[in-house]
Chain A
Amino acid sequence: MTQALVNGLTLGAVYALVALGYSMVYGILGMINFAHGEIYMLGAFHGILALAFAQHYLANFSPVVCLLGALVLAMLFCGGYGFTLERIAYRPLRHAPVLSPLISAIGMSFLLQNYVMVAQGSGIRGFPMEFGRRLTETRFSAFAGAEFSLLEVFILATSLLCMAGLHLYIYRSKMGKAMRATSQDRRMASLLGVDVDRVISATFIAGSALAAVAGVMVSMYVHAVKFNDGYIMGMKAFTAAVLGGIGNIPGAMLGGVLLGVVENIGIWFLGAGYKDAYSFIVLLLVLIVLPRGILGEQVSDKV
Protein backbone atom coordinates (compact mmCIF):
# COMPACT_ATOMS: atom_id res chain seq x y z
CA MET A 1 0.00 0.00 0.00
CA THR A 2 2.72 2.47 0.98
CA GLN A 3 4.66 1.20 -2.01
CA ALA A 4 1.70 1.92 -4.26
CA LEU A 5 1.53 5.39 -2.80
CA VAL A 6 5.20 6.05 -3.51
CA ASN A 7 4.95 4.83 -7.09
CA GLY A 8 1.70 6.68 -7.53
CA LEU A 9 3.14 9.96 -6.36
CA THR A 10 6.08 9.62 -8.71
CA LEU A 11 3.94 8.83 -11.72
CA GLY A 12 1.34 11.36 -10.67
CA ALA A 13 3.89 14.17 -10.57
CA VAL A 14 4.76 13.31 -14.15
CA TYR A 15 1.10 13.21 -15.23
CA ALA A 16 0.76 16.62 -13.64
CA LEU A 17 3.64 18.03 -15.68
CA VAL A 18 2.03 16.88 -18.92
CA ALA A 19 -1.48 17.84 -17.79
CA LEU A 20 -0.32 21.43 -17.25
CA GLY A 21 0.31 21.78 -20.97
CA TYR A 22 -3.23 20.71 -21.82
CA SER A 23 -4.69 23.00 -19.23
CA MET A 24 -2.68 26.08 -20.13
CA VAL A 25 -3.51 25.83 -23.81
CA TYR A 26 -7.16 25.16 -23.06
CA GLY A 27 -7.26 28.13 -20.72
CA ILE A 28 -6.06 30.50 -23.41
CA LEU A 29 -7.36 29.06 -26.66
CA GLY A 30 -10.26 26.94 -25.47
CA MET A 31 -8.92 24.03 -27.51
CA ILE A 32 -7.48 20.62 -26.67
CA ASN A 33 -4.02 20.25 -28.13
CA PHE A 34 -4.20 16.57 -28.97
CA ALA A 35 -0.62 16.59 -30.21
CA HIS A 36 0.66 17.42 -26.73
CA GLY A 37 1.33 13.74 -25.91
CA GLU A 38 3.61 13.62 -28.92
CA ILE A 39 5.63 16.52 -27.55
CA TYR A 40 6.17 14.45 -24.43
CA MET A 41 7.34 11.52 -26.57
CA LEU A 42 9.65 13.82 -28.55
CA GLY A 43 11.09 15.02 -25.26
CA ALA A 44 11.97 11.44 -24.34
CA PHE A 45 13.63 10.83 -27.72
CA HIS A 46 15.60 14.04 -27.62
CA GLY A 47 16.79 13.31 -24.11
CA ILE A 48 17.92 9.84 -25.14
CA LEU A 49 19.59 11.11 -28.29
CA ALA A 50 21.40 13.78 -26.32
CA LEU A 51 22.64 11.15 -23.87
CA ALA A 52 23.69 8.87 -26.70
CA PHE A 53 25.74 11.76 -28.01
CA ALA A 54 27.21 12.33 -24.57
CA GLN A 55 28.13 8.63 -24.35
CA HIS A 56 30.34 8.97 -27.40
CA TYR A 57 31.74 12.44 -27.18
CA LEU A 58 31.51 13.59 -23.60
CA ALA A 59 32.51 10.39 -21.86
CA ASN A 60 34.47 12.11 -19.11
CA PHE A 61 31.66 14.42 -18.01
CA SER A 62 29.80 13.45 -14.88
CA PRO A 63 26.51 11.59 -15.52
CA VAL A 64 24.58 14.18 -13.53
CA VAL A 65 25.80 17.00 -15.73
CA CYS A 66 24.96 14.98 -18.84
CA LEU A 67 21.52 14.21 -17.50
CA LEU A 68 20.76 17.82 -16.69
CA GLY A 69 22.14 18.85 -20.07
CA ALA A 70 19.86 16.33 -21.75
CA LEU A 71 16.88 17.68 -19.82
CA VAL A 72 17.62 21.24 -20.84
CA LEU A 73 18.20 20.23 -24.44
CA ALA A 74 14.94 18.28 -24.57
CA MET A 75 13.13 21.29 -23.12
CA LEU A 76 14.61 23.58 -25.74
CA PHE A 77 13.77 21.26 -28.59
CA CYS A 78 10.25 20.63 -27.38
CA GLY A 79 9.72 24.32 -26.77
CA GLY A 80 10.61 24.73 -30.42
CA TYR A 81 8.25 21.95 -31.47
CA GLY A 82 5.40 23.43 -29.44
CA PHE A 83 6.02 26.89 -30.87
CA THR A 84 6.13 25.57 -34.43
CA LEU A 85 3.09 23.37 -33.90
CA GLU A 86 1.00 26.34 -32.88
CA ARG A 87 2.32 28.50 -35.68
CA ILE A 88 1.69 26.09 -38.52
CA ALA A 89 -1.22 23.95 -37.30
CA TYR A 90 -3.34 26.15 -35.03
CA ARG A 91 -2.74 29.83 -35.71
CA PRO A 92 -3.99 29.73 -39.31
CA LEU A 93 -7.21 28.18 -37.94
CA ARG A 94 -7.65 30.65 -35.07
CA HIS A 95 -10.89 31.99 -36.49
CA ALA A 96 -12.12 28.77 -38.07
CA PRO A 97 -14.98 26.70 -36.59
CA VAL A 98 -13.96 24.88 -33.40
CA LEU A 99 -13.66 21.48 -35.03
CA SER A 100 -10.97 22.59 -37.48
CA PRO A 101 -8.12 23.07 -35.00
CA LEU A 102 -9.18 19.83 -33.33
CA ILE A 103 -8.81 17.91 -36.57
CA SER A 104 -5.55 19.70 -37.20
CA ALA A 105 -4.33 18.64 -33.75
CA ILE A 106 -5.17 15.00 -34.40
CA GLY A 107 -3.43 15.24 -37.76
CA MET A 108 -0.31 16.72 -36.15
CA SER A 109 -0.36 13.94 -33.60
CA PHE A 110 -0.22 11.30 -36.36
CA LEU A 111 2.34 13.27 -38.28
CA LEU A 112 4.72 13.54 -35.32
CA GLN A 113 4.31 9.86 -34.45
CA ASN A 114 5.05 8.81 -37.99
CA TYR A 115 7.97 11.19 -38.22
CA VAL A 116 9.56 9.58 -35.19
CA MET A 117 8.72 6.09 -36.42
CA VAL A 118 10.45 6.75 -39.71
CA ALA A 119 13.42 8.52 -38.16
CA GLN A 120 13.92 6.27 -35.11
CA GLY A 121 12.21 3.01 -35.97
CA SER A 122 9.07 1.43 -34.64
CA GLY A 123 10.71 -0.65 -31.92
CA ILE A 124 11.52 0.49 -28.42
CA ARG A 125 14.50 2.70 -27.90
CA GLY A 126 16.39 1.99 -24.72
CA PHE A 127 17.47 4.67 -22.30
CA PRO A 128 21.27 4.71 -21.82
CA MET A 129 20.97 3.61 -18.22
CA GLU A 130 24.56 4.27 -17.24
CA PHE A 131 23.44 7.86 -16.74
CA GLY A 132 20.74 6.78 -14.34
CA ARG A 133 22.48 3.91 -12.60
CA ARG A 134 23.36 5.82 -9.46
CA LEU A 135 19.79 7.07 -9.31
CA THR A 136 18.14 3.70 -9.75
CA GLU A 137 20.55 1.74 -7.61
CA THR A 138 20.52 3.99 -4.60
CA ARG A 139 17.49 2.73 -2.76
CA PHE A 140 15.89 3.72 0.49
CA SER A 141 13.55 1.69 2.56
CA ALA A 142 10.64 3.61 3.94
CA PHE A 143 8.10 2.72 6.58
CA ALA A 144 5.84 -0.34 6.18
CA GLY A 145 8.30 -2.21 4.00
CA ALA A 146 8.01 0.20 1.10
CA GLU A 147 11.10 0.99 -0.88
CA PHE A 148 11.96 3.77 -3.21
CA SER A 149 14.92 4.76 -5.31
CA LEU A 150 16.82 7.97 -5.63
CA LEU A 151 15.38 8.17 -9.13
CA GLU A 152 11.89 8.42 -7.72
CA VAL A 153 13.03 11.17 -5.39
CA PHE A 154 14.68 12.89 -8.34
CA ILE A 155 11.51 12.67 -10.45
CA LEU A 156 9.33 13.95 -7.66
CA ALA A 157 11.71 16.76 -6.78
CA THR A 158 12.21 17.83 -10.39
CA SER A 159 8.46 17.83 -11.01
CA LEU A 160 7.78 19.88 -7.91
CA LEU A 161 10.53 22.28 -8.89
CA CYS A 162 9.05 22.68 -12.36
CA MET A 163 5.59 23.26 -10.96
CA ALA A 164 6.87 25.79 -8.44
CA GLY A 165 8.73 27.49 -11.27
CA LEU A 166 5.61 27.60 -13.40
CA HIS A 167 3.62 29.00 -10.51
CA LEU A 168 6.13 31.80 -9.98
CA TYR A 169 6.20 32.46 -13.71
CA ILE A 170 2.44 32.74 -13.99
CA TYR A 171 1.85 34.79 -10.85
CA ARG A 172 4.97 36.95 -10.76
CA SER A 173 6.35 37.55 -14.25
CA LYS A 174 4.90 40.06 -16.65
CA MET A 175 4.37 37.43 -19.34
CA GLY A 176 2.74 35.12 -16.80
CA LYS A 177 0.29 37.80 -15.75
CA ALA A 178 -0.42 38.51 -19.39
CA MET A 179 -1.20 34.79 -19.83
CA ARG A 180 -3.71 34.89 -17.00
CA ALA A 181 -5.26 38.09 -18.29
CA THR A 182 -5.49 36.69 -21.81
CA SER A 183 -7.18 33.54 -20.59
CA GLN A 184 -9.76 35.61 -18.71
CA ASP A 185 -10.51 38.14 -21.44
CA ARG A 186 -8.46 38.05 -24.59
CA ARG A 187 -9.88 41.22 -26.12
CA MET A 188 -9.36 43.24 -22.95
CA ALA A 189 -5.78 42.03 -22.74
CA SER A 190 -5.08 43.28 -26.23
CA LEU A 191 -6.76 46.61 -25.42
CA LEU A 192 -4.17 46.98 -22.67
CA GLY A 193 -1.29 46.37 -25.05
CA VAL A 194 -0.79 42.62 -24.68
CA ASP A 195 0.42 41.01 -27.89
CA VAL A 196 -1.89 38.01 -27.68
CA ASP A 197 -0.01 36.04 -30.36
CA ARG A 198 3.17 36.24 -28.31
CA VAL A 199 1.31 35.12 -25.20
CA ILE A 200 -0.06 32.12 -27.06
CA SER A 201 3.41 31.20 -28.31
CA ALA A 202 4.83 31.50 -24.81
CA THR A 203 2.07 29.24 -23.52
CA PHE A 204 2.89 26.53 -26.03
CA ILE A 205 6.61 26.81 -25.34
CA ALA A 206 6.16 26.59 -21.57
CA GLY A 207 3.73 23.67 -21.73
CA SER A 208 5.95 21.79 -24.19
CA ALA A 209 9.07 22.30 -22.10
CA LEU A 210 7.29 20.78 -19.10
CA ALA A 211 6.21 17.81 -21.21
CA ALA A 212 9.82 17.35 -22.30
CA VAL A 213 10.96 17.11 -18.69
CA ALA A 214 8.29 14.48 -18.11
CA GLY A 215 9.36 12.57 -21.23
CA VAL A 216 13.01 12.37 -20.25
CA MET A 217 12.22 11.34 -16.69
CA VAL A 218 9.69 8.66 -17.57
CA SER A 219 11.89 7.12 -20.25
CA MET A 220 14.59 6.86 -17.62
CA TYR A 221 12.13 5.42 -15.11
CA VAL A 222 10.87 2.71 -17.48
CA HIS A 223 14.24 2.44 -19.31
CA ALA A 224 12.81 2.98 -22.80
CA VAL A 225 10.56 4.93 -25.13
CA LYS A 226 8.59 4.08 -28.25
CA PHE A 227 7.19 6.28 -31.02
CA ASN A 228 3.59 5.83 -29.82
CA ASP A 229 4.22 6.34 -26.10
CA GLY A 230 2.79 9.84 -26.36
CA TYR A 231 -0.68 8.53 -27.00
CA ILE A 232 -1.40 6.83 -23.71
CA MET A 233 0.48 9.46 -21.70
CA GLY A 234 -1.49 12.13 -23.55
CA MET A 235 -4.77 10.45 -22.67
CA LYS A 236 -3.79 10.07 -19.02
CA ALA A 237 -2.58 13.63 -18.70
CA PHE A 238 -5.67 14.92 -20.45
CA THR A 239 -7.75 12.90 -18.00
CA ALA A 240 -5.77 14.44 -15.15
CA ALA A 241 -6.40 17.92 -16.52
CA VAL A 242 -10.13 17.29 -16.78
CA LEU A 243 -10.16 15.64 -13.37
CA GLY A 244 -8.64 18.73 -11.77
CA GLY A 245 -10.79 21.11 -13.81
CA ILE A 246 -9.45 21.88 -17.27
CA GLY A 247 -7.98 25.32 -17.70
CA ASN A 248 -7.07 25.39 -14.05
CA ILE A 249 -3.37 25.25 -13.14
CA PRO A 250 -3.51 23.95 -9.56
CA GLY A 251 -6.25 21.61 -10.82
CA ALA A 252 -3.89 20.04 -13.35
CA MET A 253 -1.31 19.46 -10.64
CA LEU A 254 -3.85 17.96 -8.27
CA GLY A 255 -5.49 15.87 -11.00
CA GLY A 256 -2.15 14.43 -12.07
CA VAL A 257 -1.06 13.40 -8.63
CA LEU A 258 -4.48 11.99 -7.81
CA LEU A 259 -4.53 9.98 -11.00
CA GLY A 260 -1.11 8.49 -10.38
CA VAL A 261 -2.03 7.49 -6.85
CA VAL A 262 -5.41 6.03 -7.83
CA GLU A 263 -3.85 4.05 -10.63
CA ASN A 264 -1.20 2.50 -8.42
CA ILE A 265 -3.54 1.78 -5.56
CA GLY A 266 -5.85 0.16 -8.14
CA ILE A 267 -2.96 -1.98 -9.31
CA TRP A 268 -2.17 -2.93 -5.74
CA PHE A 269 -5.78 -3.97 -5.05
CA LEU A 270 -6.90 -5.35 -8.38
CA GLY A 271 -3.80 -6.12 -10.36
CA ALA A 272 -2.18 -4.41 -13.33
CA GLY A 273 -4.39 -5.97 -16.02
CA TYR A 274 -6.75 -3.03 -16.20
CA LYS A 275 -4.33 -0.40 -14.99
CA ASP A 276 -5.21 2.11 -17.67
CA ALA A 277 -8.90 1.76 -16.95
CA TYR A 278 -8.74 2.80 -13.27
CA SER A 279 -8.00 6.40 -14.03
CA PHE A 280 -10.88 6.65 -16.47
CA ILE A 281 -13.28 5.14 -13.97
CA VAL A 282 -12.21 7.71 -11.40
CA LEU A 283 -12.66 10.44 -13.98
CA LEU A 284 -16.21 9.29 -14.68
CA LEU A 285 -17.07 9.18 -11.01
CA VAL A 286 -15.63 12.63 -10.34
CA LEU A 287 -17.36 14.17 -13.36
CA ILE A 288 -20.71 12.79 -12.23
CA VAL A 289 -20.36 14.58 -8.91
CA LEU A 290 -18.34 17.61 -10.07
CA PRO A 291 -18.96 18.18 -13.79
CA ARG A 292 -16.28 20.87 -13.98
CA GLY A 293 -13.60 18.81 -12.28
CA ILE A 294 -12.31 19.07 -8.76
CA LEU A 295 -11.22 22.70 -8.95
CA GLY A 296 -13.83 23.80 -11.45
CA GLU A 297 -13.10 26.83 -13.58
CA GLN A 298 -14.84 29.46 -11.51
CA VAL A 299 -13.10 28.62 -8.27
CA SER A 300 -9.53 29.47 -8.96
CA ASP A 301 -7.25 30.78 -11.62
CA LYS A 302 -7.56 29.67 -15.18
CA VAL A 303 -4.77 30.08 -17.67
Chain B
Amino acid sequence: MLDLSGVHSAYGPIEVLKDVTLAVREGEIVALIGANGAGKTTTLMAVSAIHKIKAGEILFNGRSIADAAPHEIVRLGISQVPEGRRIFPRMSVEENLEMGAYARNSDLEIRKDLEHVFQLFPILKERRRQLGGTLSGGEQQMLAIGRALMARPKLLLLDEPSLGLAPKIVSQIFSVIKNLNAEGVTILLVEQNAFAALKLAHRAYVLETGRVVLSGEAAGLLTNPQVRKSYLGIN
Protein backbone atom coordinates (compact mmCIF):
# COMPACT_ATOMS: atom_id res chain seq x y z
CA MET B 1 0.00 0.00 0.00
CA LEU B 2 2.77 2.42 1.03
CA ASP B 3 6.29 1.95 -0.31
CA LEU B 4 9.27 4.09 0.49
CA SER B 5 12.40 3.21 -1.43
CA GLY B 6 15.80 4.81 -1.11
CA VAL B 7 14.39 7.93 0.51
CA HIS B 8 16.92 10.64 1.33
CA SER B 9 15.91 13.76 3.17
CA ALA B 10 17.66 16.75 4.68
CA TYR B 11 17.11 19.97 6.60
CA GLY B 12 19.51 22.30 4.83
CA PRO B 13 22.90 20.63 4.83
CA ILE B 14 21.98 18.12 7.55
CA GLU B 15 21.02 14.71 6.18
CA VAL B 16 18.25 13.24 8.26
CA LEU B 17 16.99 10.25 6.26
CA LYS B 18 19.62 8.17 4.53
CA ASP B 19 18.35 5.61 2.07
CA VAL B 20 15.18 4.65 3.94
CA THR B 21 13.25 1.78 2.42
CA LEU B 22 10.11 0.48 4.05
CA ALA B 23 6.73 -0.90 3.11
CA VAL B 24 3.31 -1.03 4.69
CA ARG B 25 0.91 -3.62 3.27
CA GLU B 26 -2.84 -3.22 3.26
CA GLY B 27 -4.39 -4.28 6.56
CA GLU B 28 -1.18 -4.19 8.56
CA ILE B 29 -0.06 -2.35 11.65
CA VAL B 30 3.56 -1.46 11.08
CA ALA B 31 5.62 0.12 13.86
CA LEU B 32 8.51 2.47 13.26
CA ILE B 33 10.68 2.72 16.35
CA GLY B 34 13.89 4.53 17.15
CA ALA B 35 15.55 6.92 19.56
CA ASN B 36 15.08 10.70 19.70
CA GLY B 37 16.17 12.36 16.50
CA ALA B 38 16.30 9.13 14.50
CA GLY B 39 14.10 10.64 11.79
CA LYS B 40 10.72 9.07 12.54
CA THR B 41 8.74 12.30 12.38
CA THR B 42 10.63 13.34 9.26
CA THR B 43 9.59 10.06 7.63
CA LEU B 44 5.91 10.66 8.35
CA MET B 45 6.13 14.28 7.22
CA ALA B 46 7.71 13.08 3.98
CA VAL B 47 4.77 10.72 3.40
CA SER B 48 2.36 13.58 4.09
CA ALA B 49 4.34 15.66 1.57
CA ILE B 50 4.97 18.37 4.15
CA HIS B 51 8.67 17.66 3.99
CA LYS B 52 10.01 17.27 0.47
CA ILE B 53 12.48 14.45 -0.05
CA LYS B 54 15.84 14.86 -1.79
CA ALA B 55 15.99 11.48 -3.48
CA GLY B 56 14.11 8.21 -3.61
CA GLU B 57 10.49 7.34 -4.20
CA ILE B 58 7.30 7.26 -2.18
CA LEU B 59 4.50 5.21 -3.68
CA PHE B 60 0.93 4.93 -2.41
CA ASN B 61 -1.00 2.11 -4.05
CA GLY B 62 1.65 2.11 -6.74
CA ARG B 63 1.35 5.80 -7.50
CA SER B 64 4.13 8.27 -6.79
CA ILE B 65 3.14 10.85 -4.19
CA ALA B 66 6.53 12.45 -3.55
CA ASP B 67 5.64 15.48 -5.68
CA ALA B 68 2.07 15.90 -4.46
CA ALA B 69 0.99 18.98 -2.52
CA PRO B 70 0.32 18.41 1.20
CA HIS B 71 -3.37 19.15 0.86
CA GLU B 72 -3.75 16.48 -1.82
CA ILE B 73 -2.38 13.66 0.31
CA VAL B 74 -5.39 13.37 2.59
CA ARG B 75 -7.66 13.11 -0.45
CA LEU B 76 -5.73 10.04 -1.53
CA GLY B 77 -6.59 8.36 1.77
CA ILE B 78 -3.61 9.11 4.02
CA SER B 79 -4.21 10.89 7.32
CA GLN B 80 -1.68 11.80 9.95
CA VAL B 81 -2.02 12.25 13.69
CA PRO B 82 1.07 14.38 14.16
CA GLU B 83 3.49 14.53 17.03
CA GLY B 84 2.22 16.87 19.73
CA ARG B 85 -1.39 16.33 18.53
CA ARG B 86 -1.69 19.87 17.09
CA ILE B 87 -5.28 20.48 18.12
CA PHE B 88 -6.64 23.84 16.96
CA PRO B 89 -6.73 25.46 20.38
CA ARG B 90 -9.34 28.12 19.68
CA MET B 91 -11.77 25.90 17.85
CA SER B 92 -14.31 23.75 19.63
CA VAL B 93 -13.97 19.98 19.80
CA GLU B 94 -16.70 19.67 17.20
CA GLU B 95 -15.04 22.20 14.89
CA ASN B 96 -11.75 20.35 15.20
CA LEU B 97 -13.54 17.19 14.10
CA GLU B 98 -15.26 19.05 11.26
CA MET B 99 -11.85 20.26 10.08
CA GLY B 100 -10.84 16.60 9.93
CA ALA B 101 -13.52 16.11 7.29
CA TYR B 102 -12.40 19.20 5.35
CA ALA B 103 -11.47 17.18 2.26
CA ARG B 104 -14.88 15.51 2.09
CA ASN B 105 -18.19 16.73 0.76
CA SER B 106 -21.11 14.58 1.80
CA ASP B 107 -22.58 16.23 4.91
CA LEU B 108 -24.69 13.19 5.64
CA GLU B 109 -21.72 10.84 5.80
CA ILE B 110 -19.69 13.35 7.79
CA ARG B 111 -22.48 13.48 10.41
CA LYS B 112 -22.46 9.70 10.56
CA ASP B 113 -18.70 9.59 11.06
CA LEU B 114 -18.96 12.25 13.74
CA GLU B 115 -21.30 9.97 15.67
CA HIS B 116 -18.88 7.12 15.14
CA VAL B 117 -16.02 9.14 16.62
CA PHE B 118 -18.24 10.10 19.55
CA GLN B 119 -18.96 6.40 20.12
CA LEU B 120 -15.25 5.65 20.05
CA PHE B 121 -14.44 8.49 22.46
CA PRO B 122 -17.58 9.39 24.47
CA ILE B 123 -15.67 12.07 26.40
CA LEU B 124 -15.40 14.07 23.16
CA LYS B 125 -19.16 14.14 22.85
CA GLU B 126 -19.45 15.53 26.37
CA ARG B 127 -16.92 18.22 25.53
CA ARG B 128 -18.05 18.96 21.99
CA ARG B 129 -18.59 22.68 22.61
CA GLN B 130 -15.40 23.14 24.63
CA LEU B 131 -12.34 24.77 23.03
CA GLY B 132 -9.66 22.31 21.92
CA GLY B 133 -7.01 24.15 23.89
CA THR B 134 -8.80 23.48 27.17
CA LEU B 135 -8.74 19.68 26.88
CA SER B 136 -6.38 17.46 28.88
CA GLY B 137 -3.50 15.73 27.10
CA GLY B 138 -5.33 12.43 26.85
CA GLU B 139 -8.51 14.08 25.56
CA GLN B 140 -6.45 16.00 23.01
CA GLN B 141 -4.90 12.77 21.78
CA MET B 142 -8.35 11.24 21.39
CA LEU B 143 -9.47 14.35 19.54
CA ALA B 144 -6.41 14.21 17.29
CA ILE B 145 -7.16 10.59 16.38
CA GLY B 146 -10.86 11.33 15.95
CA ARG B 147 -10.04 14.27 13.71
CA ALA B 148 -7.82 12.11 11.50
CA LEU B 149 -10.58 9.47 11.28
CA MET B 150 -13.04 12.10 10.07
CA ALA B 151 -11.16 11.99 6.76
CA ARG B 152 -11.96 8.26 6.44
CA PRO B 153 -8.33 7.31 5.84
CA LYS B 154 -7.21 4.07 4.28
CA LEU B 155 -3.79 4.58 5.85
CA LEU B 156 -3.38 6.23 9.23
CA LEU B 157 -0.02 7.63 10.29
CA LEU B 158 0.35 7.99 14.05
CA ASP B 159 3.30 9.89 15.53
CA GLU B 160 3.93 8.97 19.18
CA PRO B 161 0.31 8.77 20.30
CA SER B 162 1.38 7.65 23.79
CA LEU B 163 3.71 10.59 24.46
CA GLY B 164 3.17 12.13 27.88
CA LEU B 165 0.01 10.18 28.69
CA ALA B 166 -0.92 8.14 31.76
CA PRO B 167 -0.61 4.35 31.32
CA LYS B 168 -4.36 3.88 31.53
CA ILE B 169 -4.97 6.32 28.67
CA VAL B 170 -2.16 4.78 26.66
CA SER B 171 -3.72 1.34 26.85
CA GLN B 172 -7.10 2.81 25.91
CA ILE B 173 -5.58 4.49 22.87
CA PHE B 174 -3.68 1.39 21.84
CA SER B 175 -6.84 -0.68 22.00
CA VAL B 176 -8.60 1.87 19.81
CA ILE B 177 -5.76 1.58 17.30
CA LYS B 178 -6.16 -2.18 17.33
CA ASN B 179 -9.91 -1.92 16.74
CA LEU B 180 -9.45 0.56 13.91
CA ASN B 181 -7.09 -1.86 12.25
CA ALA B 182 -9.64 -4.64 12.67
CA GLU B 183 -12.16 -2.37 10.92
CA GLY B 184 -9.81 -2.22 7.96
CA VAL B 185 -7.61 0.85 8.52
CA THR B 186 -3.96 0.25 7.71
CA ILE B 187 -1.63 1.77 10.30
CA LEU B 188 1.90 3.09 10.41
CA LEU B 189 2.73 3.74 14.05
CA VAL B 190 5.73 5.73 15.21
CA GLU B 191 6.57 5.10 18.84
CA GLN B 192 9.28 5.55 21.42
CA ASN B 193 7.35 3.19 23.64
CA ALA B 194 8.86 0.28 21.71
CA PHE B 195 7.48 -2.44 23.91
CA ALA B 196 3.85 -1.40 23.50
CA ALA B 197 4.34 -0.74 19.80
CA LEU B 198 5.93 -4.12 19.12
CA LYS B 199 3.21 -5.93 21.02
CA LEU B 200 0.56 -4.22 18.90
CA ALA B 201 2.19 -4.28 15.46
CA HIS B 202 2.46 -7.04 12.90
CA ARG B 203 5.80 -5.87 11.60
CA ALA B 204 8.30 -3.20 12.59
CA TYR B 205 11.26 -1.17 11.40
CA VAL B 206 14.01 0.19 13.61
CA LEU B 207 15.41 3.55 12.58
CA GLU B 208 18.79 4.70 13.83
CA THR B 209 20.17 8.12 12.80
CA GLY B 210 18.23 8.10 9.57
CA ARG B 211 18.88 4.51 8.54
CA VAL B 212 16.74 1.40 8.82
CA VAL B 213 18.97 -0.91 10.86
CA LEU B 214 16.51 -3.71 11.58
CA SER B 215 13.16 -4.87 10.36
CA GLY B 216 10.89 -7.86 10.53
CA GLU B 217 8.00 -9.49 12.36
CA ALA B 218 7.20 -7.54 15.51
CA ALA B 219 7.12 -10.69 17.61
CA GLY B 220 10.59 -11.58 16.38
CA LEU B 221 11.97 -8.14 17.18
CA LEU B 222 10.58 -8.37 20.70
CA THR B 223 12.95 -11.24 21.35
CA ASN B 224 15.85 -9.80 19.34
CA PRO B 225 18.77 -9.23 21.78
CA GLN B 226 19.83 -5.98 20.10
CA VAL B 227 16.32 -4.53 20.28
CA ARG B 228 15.88 -5.73 23.86
CA LYS B 229 19.08 -4.00 24.87
CA SER B 230 18.71 -0.69 23.01
CA TYR B 231 14.98 -0.11 22.93
CA LEU B 232 13.37 -2.20 25.62
CA GLY B 233 15.98 -1.67 28.32
CA ILE B 234 16.14 -5.39 28.99
CA ASN B 235 19.37 -7.33 29.01
The interface of chain A, by Cβ under 8 A from chain B, is: 174, 177-178, 180-181, 184-185, 187-196, 300-302
Residue contact B102 to A194, C-beta cutoff 8 Å: yes
Q: Mark B98-141, 1 if CB is under 8 A from A, else 0.
A: 11101100000000000000000000000000000000000000
Chain A residues with CB under 8 Å of B100's CB are 192
A187, B72: Cα distance in complex, Å: 13
A-B pairs with lowest CB-CB distance, top 3: A193-B103, A193-B74, A190-B70
Residues from chain A with Cβ under 8 Å of B82 in the complex: 187-188, 191
Q: Report chain A residues within 8 Å CB of B90.
A: 180, 184, 300-302
Question: Across the interface, do B88 and A181 meet the contact criterion of CB distance under 8 Å?
Answer: yes
Minimum distance in angstroms from B164 CB to a CB of chain A: 18
- Name the residue of chain A whose CB is nearest to the CB of B131: A301
Query: Is B95 within 8 A of A194, CB to CB?
Result: no
Asked if B199 is an interface residue, CB under 8 A from chain A, the answer is no
- Indicate which residue in A177, A187, A191, A302 contacts B95 across the interface (CB closer than 8 Å): A177
Determine if A191 and B102 form an interchain contact, defined as CB atoms under 8 angstroms apart. Answer: no
Can you list 24 A-B pairs with a CB-CB distance of less than 8 A?
A174-B102, A177-B95, A177-B99, A180-B88, A180-B91, A181-B88, A185-B86, A185-B88, A187-B50, A187-B86, A189-B99, A190-B50, A190-B70, A191-B80, A191-B82, A191-B86, A192-B102, A192-B103, A192-B147, A193-B71, A193-B102, A194-B99, A196-B71, A300-B90
Within the complex, the shortest CB–CB distance from B81 to chain A, in Å, comes to 9
Separation in Å of the A170 CB from the closest CB of chain B?
Answer: 11
State how many angstroms separate the Cβ of A169 from the closest Cβ of chain B.
15
Interface residues of B (CB under 8 A from A): 48, 50, 69-75, 79-80, 82, 86, 88-91, 95, 98-100, 102-103, 147, 151
Q: How far is the CB of B27 from chain A (nearest CB, A)?
A: 23
Contacts A177-B98, A178-B102, A180-B91 hold; do A190 and B71 have CB atoms under 8 A apart? Answer: yes
Residues of A within 8 A of B71 (CB): 190, 193-196
Give Cα A185–Cα B83 distance, bound, in whole angstroms.
13
A37 to B22, CA, bound (A): 53
A188 to B144, CA, bound (A): 11
Q: A178-B102, A181-B99, A187-B50 are in contact. Are A192 and B74 (CB under 8 A)?
A: yes
**A240–B142 alpha-carbon span in the complex (Å):** 39
Alpha-carbon separation in the docked complex, A256 to B126 (Å): 38
* B157 to A, closest residue via Cβ: A191
Closest A-chain residue to B70, C-beta based? A190
Give the residue name and chain of the A residue nearest to B95 (CB). Answer: A177
Complex: A170 Cα to B147 Cα, angstroms: 20
Cα distance A187–B48 when bound, in Å? 11
Chain B residues lying within 8 Å of A187, measured Cβ to Cβ, are 50, 82, 86
A178, B69: Cα distance in complex, Å = 17
B12 → chain A closest CB, angstroms: 12
In Å, the complex CA distance between A177 and B101 comes to 12
Q: How far is the CB of B203 from chain A (nearest CB, A)?
A: 25
